[in-house]
């Protein structure tokens, strides 16, 4: 394995030096979480953290996201580093002294730490811009939690011209503390919303033969969809269909006119995604028709598959090991079926995402509260490693350690 061009001590020391600032920023954002594409308080905190730095700021019309651009000493490649900013619609129950003060919102996915690490990396790289043989774009992105913020920022032209490579970090309480993890190829799944409405005919619950009950029909559809997955989709290119909500009726003695299903579809390739879409329509409409009812199927396209480029993933592994030793990196054996809208960036340019383990001190990463839990807590000190990783990845990619 060839040696990398950066001095690991410079970036690990920078990360440690900026840790207290990162913790303060993270906690300030955690106190006032915001949802969706418009995050005025969070964006203001980001701008304050970047104030006085030699950065060009780009803002778009569709979101409150921003891209900060650092021009290095030489005019070479461009590398993008990304941090997402939005929270989740949860009521926090951590008991932290900096718990959410916004009713019904919580940073339960670690985006507050992503912003803090990226802002720290921006400061560290600005202070050492003479080391950079190109340009760094810092993408502070809202709307990751299902709102397609990355796509909107791309459509607004904030990344034009597209960078030569891209990298993102995602914190995880369910991985060993301070360890980075990733893989080449699919890392996270596509995510689509399934909506099915079955129309029957209402009537008296004591006389179902005079009605057309949609309830057993939707129940049959649910079980048939699971059989469809296991019998029509390869286990080596899998899909997950989960029907998470069933709604029908108003009381116990009335057969309702219709019944509705809400669910999610996750896949690891566009091929399987298309197969699953066709199968969901076929199963639902034909089962309903067999009973004399009608099924209306809507599938809302969500995020694409998050596919990591092997060259960037390899650089991330080499960088983590150069910074933190052989134990600093874990190659994941398989993808995860969660989804990420960084996938939109990876559709446009070679890049990768890596996880950073942040299991709380004294906790077991295998059993502690996971991402999206209203009790999720993190070890904030790992942000020093995240800052160092961002910085080292940027310098290495710009210095020619990444073959493109």
CA distance 99 to 12: 29
Token readout for 213 is 């009950």
Q: In the Cβ-directed half-sphere of 310, how many Cα atoms lie within 13 Å?
A: 1
> Cβ(79)–Cβ(137) under 8 Å?
yes
Over the stretch 345-373, which tens digit does the pLDDT of each residue have?
999 999 999 999 999 887 788 888 899 99
Furthest-apart CA atoms within the chain: distance in Å = 81
**Model confidence, pTM:** 0.95
Q: Is 242 helix (H, G, I), strand (E, B) or coil?
A: strand
Judging by beta carbons within 10 Å of its beta carbon (0-12, 13-18, 19+), is residue 93 exposed, middle or buried?
middle
Helix (H) or strand (E) holding 337: none
Q: DSSP letters of 48-94?
A: HHHTTSS-EEEE-SSSS-EEEEEE-SS--EEEEEEEE---BS----S
Helix (H) or strand (E) holding 214: helix 214-232
> Cβ(93)–Cβ(375) under 8 Å?
yes
Q: What is the pLDDT of residue 2?
A: 66
CB contact set of 214 (below 8 Å; sequence gap of 6+): 198, 199, 200, 248, 256, 257, 258, 259, 293
> Cβ(234)–Cβ(268) under 8 Å?
no
Domain 190-300: give its CATH architecture: 2-Layer Sandwich (3.30)
8-187+305-398 and 190-300, same CATH topology: no
CA distance 378 to 126: 28
> Cβ(225)–Cβ(240) under 8 Å?
no
Token readout for 399 is 């210095």
Q: Which residues partner with 181 through β-bridges?
A: 330, 355
Domain boundaries, the chain: 8-187+305-398, 190-300
Token readout for 1 is 């394995």
Q: What is the pLDDT of residue 365?
A: 84
CA distances from 338 to 83, 237, 301 (A): 17, 15, 15
What is 8-187+305-398's CATH topology?
Answer: Aminopeptidase (3.40.630)
Helices H, strands E: what count in the chain? 10, 16
Q: Is 7 helix (H, G, I), strand (E, B) or coil?
A: coil
Helix (H) or strand (E) holding 151: helix 149-155
Residue keyed to tokens 């034909």: 286
CA distance 141 to 304: 17
* Count of other CB atoms within 10 angstroms of residue 135: 21
- Listed in sequence order, the DSSP H helices in 75-148 are 111-127
* Count of other CB atoms within 10 angstroms of residue 117: 31
Token readout for 6 is 């950066």
Per-residue confidence of the chain (404 residues) as pLDDT tens digits? 568 989 999 999 999 999 999 999 999 999 999 999 999 999 999 999 999 999 999 999 999 999 999 999 888 999 999 999 999 999 999 999 999 999 999 999 999 999 999 999 999 999 999 999 999 999 999 999 999 999 999 999 999 999 999 999 999 999 999 999 999 999 999 999 999 999 999 999 999 999 999 999 999 999 999 999 999 999 999 999 999 999 999 999 999 999 999 999 999 999 999 999 999 999 999 999 999 999 999 999 999 999 999 999 999 999 999 999 999 999 999 999 999 999 999 999 999 999 999 998 877 888 888 999 999 999 999 999 999 999 999 999 999 999 98
């Amino acid at each position: 394995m060839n040696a990398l061009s950066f001095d690991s001590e410079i970036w690990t020391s920078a990360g440690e030096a900026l840790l207290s600032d990162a913790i303060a920023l993270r906690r300030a954002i955690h106190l006032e979480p915001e949802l969706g594409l418009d995050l005025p308080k969070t964006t203001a905190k980001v701008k304050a953290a970047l104030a006085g730095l030699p950065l060009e700021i780009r803002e778009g019309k569709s979101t409150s996201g921003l891209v900060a651009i650092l021009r290095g000493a030489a005019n070479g490649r461009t590398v993008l580093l990304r941090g997402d900013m939005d929270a989740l619609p949860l009521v926090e129950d951590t008991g932290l002294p900096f718990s959410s003060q916004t009713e019904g919102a919580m940073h339960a996915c670690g985006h507050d730490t992503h912003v803090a690490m990226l802002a720290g990396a921006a400061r560290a790289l600005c202070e050492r811009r003479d080391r950079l043989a190109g340009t760094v774009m810092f993408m502070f992105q809202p709307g990751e939690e299902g709102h397609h913020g990355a796509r909107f920022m791309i459509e607004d032209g904030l990344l034009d011209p597209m960078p030569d490579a891209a990298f993102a970090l995602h914190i995880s309480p369910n991985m060993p503390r301070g360890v980075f993890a990733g893989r080449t190829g699919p890392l996270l799944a596509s995510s689509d919303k399934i909506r099915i409405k079955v129309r029957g005919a209402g009537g008296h619950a004591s006389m179902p033969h005079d009605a057309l009950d949609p309830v057993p029909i939707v129940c049959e559809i649910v079980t048939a969809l699971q059989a469809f997955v296991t019998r029509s989709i390869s286990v080596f290119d899998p899909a997950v269909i989960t029907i998470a909500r069933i709604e029908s009726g108003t009381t116990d003695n009335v057969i309702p006119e219709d019944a509705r299903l809400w669910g999610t579809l996750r896949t690891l390739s566009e091929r399987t995604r298309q197969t699953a879409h066709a199968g969901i329509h076929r199963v639902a409409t034909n089962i309903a028709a067999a009973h004399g009812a009608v099924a209306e199927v809507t599938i809302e396209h969500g995020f694409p598959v998050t596919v990591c480029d092997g060259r960037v993933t390899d650089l991330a592994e080499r960088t983590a090991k150069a910074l933190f030793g052989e134990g600093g990196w874990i190659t994941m054996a398989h993808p995860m079926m969660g989804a990420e809208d960084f996938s939109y960036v990876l559709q446009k340019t070679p890049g990768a995402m890596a996880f950073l383990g942040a299991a709380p001190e004294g906790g077991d990463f295998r059993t502690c509260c996971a991402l999206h839990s209203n009790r999720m807590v993190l070890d904030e000190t790992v942000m020093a490693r995240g800052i160092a990783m961002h910085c080292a990845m940027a310098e290495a990619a710009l210095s020619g350690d990444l073959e493109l």
